[in-house]
Amino acid sequence: MKLTFKQFIMIPVGIAVLAFILMLLELVLKTVEFPYFMTWISFQAWAMYFMAGCTPQGGVKVVLGYLGGCLASMAIIALGVALLPSLGSMAFPLVVLVLVVPVISFERVPWFDFIPAWFVGAGVYFAIKGWGAPEMSYSAVAITTLVSCLVGQIFGVVTVVGRAKYEAMLAAKAATGGEAIAEATAPAAEAPADEAPAEDDA
């Protein structure tokens, strides 16, 4: 059904509330000194849930893609650093040239075939390890990426389920209201005609 603006605006408001909750989650986790969470990754992964098809199966593919991206990034960093003395500035470009081939080949592997998540996950890993928090260990960066990604997928599920339930509720109300209007405006049934009077006996 087509929503009026008054009905539609509740959807952005609901998503805004979820975003607010996600921001609060970071504050709570900082309070308890949980080190493996970054809000910006969750927001990014939240959007990836929709790119993967808005289904729980797609969400699993996103998480597995982030995992693959983390592993690919770890391999790129390790090999690039090892080859840096001999290849100089060409070390990392050549490593990427070689490793992107098997990464793209995972397109043929069920559950690991959402390749955009591999690239986004790898980018997240490089962003943390290379610039954001280079002092973090390789495993800590991977855990942070995956935990934050998982939180984003949960928010994606809540968004889709919540919107579906809201729109179903509006559709049910519209149907009920339509039936009531139809009943109220329907013409009343004609009363049965009076029986003709009996003729007098001759």
Phi, psi of 97 (to 5 degrees): -55, -40
What is the predicted pLDDT for the residue at 177?
Answer: 75
* Unique residue bearing structure tokens 């960066």: 141
Residue 201 belongs to a domain? no
Q: Which amino acid is at 139?
A: S
* Unique residue bearing structure tokens 């990604």: 149
Mean pLDDT by 10 residues, the chain (202 residues): 94 98 96 96 98 97 98 97 96 97 98 98 96 93 98 98 96 80 58 54 49
Q: How far apart are the C-alpha atoms of 150 and 29, rounded to whole Å?
A: 15
* Unique residue bearing structure tokens 């942070």: 144
Number of compact structural domains in the chain: 1
Residue 98 belongs to a domain? yes
Q: How far apart are the C-alpha atoms of 187 and 170, rounded to whole Å?
A: 28
Full residue range of the structural domain in which residue 147 is found = 60-154
Residue 52 belongs to a domain? no
Residue 1 belongs to a domain? no
Residue 121 belongs to a domain? yes
Joined tokens for residue 143: 């855990």
Residue 176 belongs to a domain? no
Question: Based on C-alpha coordinates, what's the Rg of the chain?
Answer: 30
Residue 110 belongs to a domain? yes
Residue 173 belongs to a domain? no
pTM, to two decimals: 0.85
Sequence-ordered list of residues with C-beta below 8 angstroms from that of 133, at least 6 positions apart, any chain: 141
What is the predicted pLDDT for the residue at 135?
Answer: 93
